[in-house]
Structure 1
Amino acid sequence: MVMRTGFVCGCGHSGTTLIATILASHPDVYLPFQETNVFFKWTPLAMFRYWKLKRAALGAGKTFLLEKTPRHIRRVGRIRRLVPGARFVMPVRDGRDVVASLAKRLGDPAEALDRWIDDNALVLAEQEAPDVLIYRYEDLVEDPARIVERICGFLDLSFSSDLLDYHRNPQQWFKPAEVEVETQHAALRNQQVNKPIYDGRGRWKTELGQMELKELTEGRGKPLMQAFGYV
């Protein structure tokens, strides 16, 4: 059985978990419901763990291995070398909404802003690569069937509107940790990804600080916001 591989990566809180969960409902797709960070490991260990993922996919009778670790956007070149033929799906999302969401999660708006800029600069650098598909979270919200069909075509997977009913088979993504705040976060995130596609557009209007807004619309983030059609 030929095993094909795809990676979902990009800036966190841009819809990576959402699209991975949707694609995981495809009958040919195997997805480990965790962020493996495999390709941040020493090469022999990385390849061993990747082999274990492939073995698990084959054991489940699947022909497509999908892995979702947002931070793998920083290891795309390495993945290409180690996994020939891999394809990459990279969601982008309005920086104002992402920074608002990340700041709430990280507790540091400056770190959230830096992360959006750094990670999406790497996404933009891949826009001409034939093994990369970049799409906007907002377009998925607006017309999910069109975007999911486009992604399936890119990954050589059949498309069915049944994929949009992914929430009828709830998945356990974020495992609760011992720390109470992490347990609350895990429970909230699992609740979010097991619902129909949620429209999270515009949260920045009530949650984003003025300094971060200015950096995204007038400062360091403006070129990226313009490149992805947000300004």
Structure 2
Amino acid sequence: MSKIEEVKAKVEAGKSKLVPGLVQEALDEGSAAGDILQAMVDSMGVVGEKFSSGEIFVPEMLIAAKAMSKGVDVLKPLMAGDGSASLGTCIIGTVAGDLHDIGKNLVSMMIESAGFDMVDLGVDVPADTFVQAVKDNANVKLVACSGLLTTTMPALKEAVATVKAACPEIKVIVGGAPVTPEYATEIGADGYAPDAGSAAVKAKELATA
């Protein structure tokens, strides 16, 4: 098994103590930092699929994401000078009136692992705060709004409308338990993701479209 394959397997298994060493070994063998990162992103894609299909649960997913972030830490200094390493900045937050953050945190980790710089606004975020964050940060390509309560669906709608009105060039992606693709389209979002794995794929798609 090549070192990159080993990195992939260990990220998937959530072996955060072993991943940094294996990433370093893969680099020493001559693998490109970008290729190693891609292997870890692919690995998290598999984890995301297993999570979606109910094979694994939130704890396993968090453990794998942690293993990946340890690997990314080794690569960061090498990729800092590589302008292609970042797909831009993504602003993320749970909409006003909603205090759930586990799903949002997972999505944030997955989108970051796909190559974005993340700005996490936390929970109970008013629509205007999303707009302010777009203005305060450089190279924002994407705003991700999460809503996990049916009662906060209007707040999700307001957040999308406010961001779109103030920053029409910014893509908005939404998700959360009560959100459907139809509702996402209805409120004018550019993308919808049912889970963290697909959020990363969709984020990449929107940023590079």
Superposed pair shares fold, TM > 0.5:
no
TM range (shorter): 0.3 to 0.5
- TM normalised by structure 1 equals 0.35
Specify which structure has the bigger relative contact order, considering alpha-carbon pairs within 8 angstroms and separated by 6 or more residues. Answer: 1
